[in-house]
Chain A
Amino acid sequence: MLEELGTNDQGDMIINVGPQHPSTHGVLHLVITLHGETVKKVEPHLGYIHRSIEKMSESLSYRQFSYVTSRMDYLSSHINNHACALAVEKGLQLEIPGRAQYIRVILDELTRIASHQLWWGALAMDLGAFTPFFYSFREREMINEVMEETCGARLTMNYIVPGGVMFDLHPDFQKKVKLFLAEFKSKIHEYNELVTGNVIFQNRTKGVGYISKENAISYGMTGPSGRGSGFKCDVRKLHPYELYDQLKFEEITEEGGDAFARYMVRIREMEQSMNIIEQLIDNIPEGDIQAKTKAVLKLPKGDFYSRVETARGELGVYIISEGGTTPYRIKYRSPGFSNLSALNDMAVGGKLGDLMATMGTLDLVIPDIDR
């Protein structure tokens, strides 16, 4: 690794961005080859926050292992739990009560909005504007309060269990969610005024970090990052789970393929999520919140796969069961890892500042990449 210390034989500067760096949002380590200010190569080095969640899950029961996944993509922990629960339910062939399904979907979408809000603030910060971060946290706090009342946690929810959800809703839930929706509808306009319409912001993001649809598909980019290149990859539409096939919502795609397109996908997705919540919030049926399950879950021999759309893309949970109380092997297909793999392709040829814009619009969460 002598190369990391200085320059290479072509006189290019080799510079370590991370593992401690303000805009890697975690312990991502990028080794960047710079020619002046122009990026020639980006090489991500992973492993700084590897906790071997997959191996750990092999010794945890089917009720326990989903709690660890809250620590993967901590911004959509609720959706991670959902994916795990879906895989186990597939194995047990459980019928989920309607009320639980409604609650799950509403909370999924709230999580998605909260995650996109944080991403919005963090992206603006990557581009050098500090104020939007505080604005986004103001609205995110409202969601966090709802989460706190409902799940007892603000970040690692652990609310979804195989068969349903852990507790019933707080009596104030509907009122608070509606309050949030009303508030956020006007605030998203503020977001657009402050950042989206800003000339500097548009110059910083338009035409930056371009990736074509073909490349996006071949790198396995999913979620808003893939949809920014026009790749229709929304799992909620392609392989609907829970209530998504009964809901009316648009799959947001943009054709630009640049940072601005990915930005717009997320902004418009927040509106779609609000739309979904609006359709559900008044119609939550009465009834059980959990299907009847045995105290100790045992999956039949075989393999089970579930996929959900997290705020970052497609999360796949693959369980191989030998028929025991713990999984034989678990594999997560995390969206962040595939999205990160495209970074080199997107950043090469741009300036150092473009790399930050590209990374910001990929919306990387490092514990999701490393697991």
Chain B
Amino acid sequence: MFSLEKLVSIIQAWLQSTLGDPWAYIVVCVMVGVAAIALFAILGLMLVYMERKVAAHMQIRLGPNRVGPMGLFQTTADTLKLVMKEGLTPDGADKFLFNLAPFMVMIAAMLILAPIAFAKNFQIWDISIGVLYVAAVSSVAVIGILMAGWSSNNKYSLLGAMRSAAQIVSYELSAGLSILAIVILSGSLKISDIINSQADGWWIIKGHIPVIIAFIVFIIAVTAETNRAPFDLAEAESELTAGFHTEYSGMKFALFFLAEYINIFIGCAIGATIFLGGWMPFHIGNWEAFNHVMDFIPSSIWFIGKTVFLIFLIMWFRWTFPRLRVDQLLNLEWKYLLPISMVNLLIVTLMAIMGWHL
């Protein structure tokens, strides 16, 4: 059976035997870095393509269908165009910060990739405070967005950046609280432990209604944190033309664009890991035959499948809902989501203490 775990151990063993200890480790680091960047490029291309197709089918259109089979190379062509475009820096801009900002956003997105388990035992860094790490690093992105908005010397950008800062900082809270619910249930911050605790059933099934509430809050918070519609106030095309990246062009714009999709992927991957069992196959109690069939599907497919499902949900939101207003956005978080997730957290804690979950 195909398994990424075996592939990794074969490569590692071969490197160890040919290069010896320090060099093998360095080569592995480089390989991981290259793989991460390659994954980024592929994810960006595929998610943009997916978004365009999903949007098109919701809008009674066909979507990209000219470049390559079924328009698969459309995003590649678009990226090529963006690479060749001139990356303008406006006259009044703070040049250093202006050029740094897209990289900040991108690096923040890349860093969160580390603790994500893509398949069984296939993880870059199984850090013991995995969930905390994700929550902490994901808020670095807002610095990049603020930087972009502030340094552009454009009022639309500034408004967009300010909105984005308010939004990400507030929604981080309920995202964190809803993740905490699962941390309490599984008793660990480590991603691999959280996944292993779901071997006998995903938390969304085991955890009854409180976890479902936490999951819904989490999905809303992720949509808001990634600045996606209906929470796309930072970009808000009809109000702020393009929000914080109004002044960006060429590849610098593409980095923002890419980071948005990577962030969606990461948000959904975290959601899939924490609530839907990550790479854990779907098991039903003591149906042995059924469970065996499920086990036969590679763990990487399980993970990608769940993540793509959540991504589809978020895309579905974007193409259905109108945008919230800025005060409504903050009201939703501070008046509804935060109290709900706090009370929910208490209930989950009670559930964990009393052992009410399955």
Contacts and interface: CB of A to CB of B under 8 A. Distances in A.
Contacts of A127: 238, 322-323
Interface in B204-260: 229-230, 232-233, 236-241
B320 interface: yes
B325 A135 contact: no
Contacts of A135: 59-60
A124 B159 contact: no
A13 B155 contact: yes
A203 B59 contact: no
B275 interface: no
B1 to A, nearest CB: 42
Contacts of A352: 159, 239-240, 326
A200 B230 contact: yes
Contacts of A13: 155
Given A200-B230, A203-B328, A352-B239, A128 B60 contact: no
A23 B60 contact: no
B236 A128 contact: yes
Nearest to A350: B325
A9 to B, nearest CB: 17
A66 B41 CA distance: 57
Interface in A171-216: 194-195, 198, 200-201, 203-204
A130 B230 CA distance: 11
B324 A356 contact: no
Nearest to A16: B155
B239 A15 contact: no
Nearest to A128: B323
Contacts of B232: 128
A134 B238 CA distance: 17
Contacts of B58: 131
Residue of B55, B230, B239 contacting most chain A CB atoms (<10 Å): B239
A56 interface: no
B236 A353 contact: yes
A301 interface: no
A21 B155 CA distance: 14
Interface string A117-134: 000000011111111011
Interface in A1-43: 13, 15, 21-23, 34, 37
Give the 7 A-B residue pairs with the shortest CB-CB distance, closest first. A128-B323, A127-B322, A134-B59, A23-B238, A129-B322, A353-B325, A126-B238
Interface of A: 13, 15, 21-23, 34, 37, 124-131, 133-135, 138, 194-195, 198, 200-201, 203-204, 351-354, 356
Interface of B: 55, 58-61, 155-156, 159, 163, 229-230, 232-233, 236-241, 319-328
30 contacts: A21-B241, A22-B237, A22-B238, A22-B241, A37-B326, A37-B327, A127-B322, A128-B230, A128-B236, A128-B237, A128-B321, A128-B322, A129-B320, A129-B322, A130-B59, A131-B319, A131-B320, A134-B60, A135-B59, A135-B60, A194-B320, A200-B321, A200-B322, A200-B323, A204-B325, A351-B325, A351-B326, A352-B239, A353-B325, A356-B238
